[in-house]
Structure 1
Amino acid sequence: MAQEPNDADGETVYIADDLYTFMHAGPGRNFRILGSVTAGTKVTMLQRDDTEGFVEIIDDKQRTGWVDARFINDQPSVREAMPELQQNLSDTQISLQDAQQKNDLLNQQILDLNSRNKQMQSELKELQTRHDRIERELANKDNKVQLEWLTRGGIIGLIGIVLGVIVMLIPRKRRRNDGWM
């Protein structure tokens, strides 16, 4: 004869994963077996009989009975956790694929940037070479311009000296001093 449950609001617990256990009509092995509860089944614990070591439960088929307390576990069973774990695995695999695609894209961008960097470094070296060549040409032109100005100044100075000497050598008319003025 089955006992009536003492409390309809009980704590959720699980049957251990590695077995199935018999559900008895009362708290002990000497009570009639009402059926079995499969390993990992989510059950509701109504009360505990510590003297006999049995727990009153309501199983997934809404049957009320007593099972050995050794087979009650607070942790969700593997069977209960498996769908969530599979969903997490699926989500993780999708995230991993997305990350791999992003990684591949970033690696391609890195290769493109490295290629552009090498090209720009080559252009920079070419521009530096041209800059150095143009600076040398400019320095040479400055030297030539200074030399031209120096030469022209020297020629003008020499012409001035020669003209001054020639002018000094030209005889001058003497003035007469007989006039009143």
Structure 2
Amino acid sequence: MTKFFLQIMGLGLLFGLLINQASAQDVQAPGNEQTVYISDDLYTFIHAGPGRNYRIIGSVVAGTPVTLLQRNDEEGFVEIIDDKERTGWVDNRFISATPSVRESVPQLEEALQQAQSDVAQTREQNDLLNQQILDLSSRNEQLQSRLQEIQQQHSDVQQELASIDNKVQIEWLTRGGIIGLGGIILGVILMLIPRKRRRNDNWM
């Protein structure tokens, strides 16, 4: 019985050594540090070793960016360096490769503020362009009105010139008629004036 018990103990120790070797192979080699984030829980504890049976050396608030040093997939823990430069192990379930809400919200707020600033600037530029369009429209209406005035003045001048030309023609015709009539009257008068008879010398 005692011999059988010792054999069982020996197999147990051998099995334990095999598990330790497998665990050592599962541990990520150091030197491949990367930035990861504590997931959106309230906080998680940092342990001195890869397991909950190791003493707690602190806690990390949710959303805090931490540096990943290595993984222990057998125990489900990862070794990190937190924002306070503490090195320890946390549960792998609380690690995320994407920024948490705590990390993303400030960036989203900054992007929102930038977008609002861009919108305000665009509105200001749009208002300025609308004002310029109104000014140009008003200027165009003034120019159109001035053009109509010039066209009306041009039409009036054309009519006045035509009227003057007609008056000149009538005046010339009138003068010509008067001169012609005067000539006719003068001719008639000359014809009516008796001519002097020539004296005939009578030699008889």
Q: Please give the TM-score of this superposition, normalised by the length of structure 1.
A: 0.66
User: Which residue number in structure 2 is paired with residue 25 of structure 1?
Assistant: 48
User: Which residue number in structure 2 is paired with residue 11 of structure 1?
Assistant: 34
Unaligned runs of 5+ in 1: 172-181
What is the identity, as a one-letter code, of the residue corresponding to 2:158?
Answer: E
Please say if 1:39 is aligned against 2:62. yes
User: Which residue number in structure 1 is paired with residue 80 of structure 2?
Assistant: 57
Where relative contact order (Cα < 8 A, 6+ residues apart) is larger, the structure is 1
The within-5 A match list for 1:1-181 is 7=30, 10-149=33-172, 158=180
Q: In 1, Cα distance between the equivalents of 2:96 and 2:168? A: 101
SS in 2 for 1:12: strand
Unaligned runs of 5+ in 2: 1-27, 196-204
Q: In 1, Cα distance between the equivalents of 2:50 and 2:174? A: 127
The structural deviation recorded for 1:18 is 3.8
What is the identity, as a one-letter code, of the residue corresponding to 1:111?
Answer: L
Instruction: Compare 60-69 and 84-93 and name the one that shifted more.
Output: 84-93
Q: Which has the larger radius of gyration?
A: 2
% identity of equivalent residues = 60
Q: In 1, Cα distance between the equivalents of 2:95 and 2:37? A: 6
The structural deviation recorded for 1:39 is 0.6
The structural deviation recorded for 1:46 is 0.5
The structural deviation recorded for 1:61 is 1.6
SS in 2 for 1:40: coil
The structural deviation recorded for 1:162 is 5.0
Q: In 1, Cα distance between the equivalents of 2:59 and 2:143? A: 77
Instruction: Compare 137-146 and 119-128 and name the one that shifted more.
Output: 137-146
What root-mean-square deviation, in Å, do the aligned CA atoms of Structure 1 and Structure 2 show? 3.8
Q: CA distance change for structure 1 residues 6 and 50 in 2, over 3 Å: closer, same or farther?
A: closer
SS in 1 for 2:68: strand
Q: Which protein is richer in helix relative to its size?
A: 2
Q: CA distance change for structure 1 residues 149 and 17 in 2, over 3 Å: closer, same or farther?
A: farther
What is the identity, as a one-letter code, of the residue corresponding to 2:102?
Answer: R
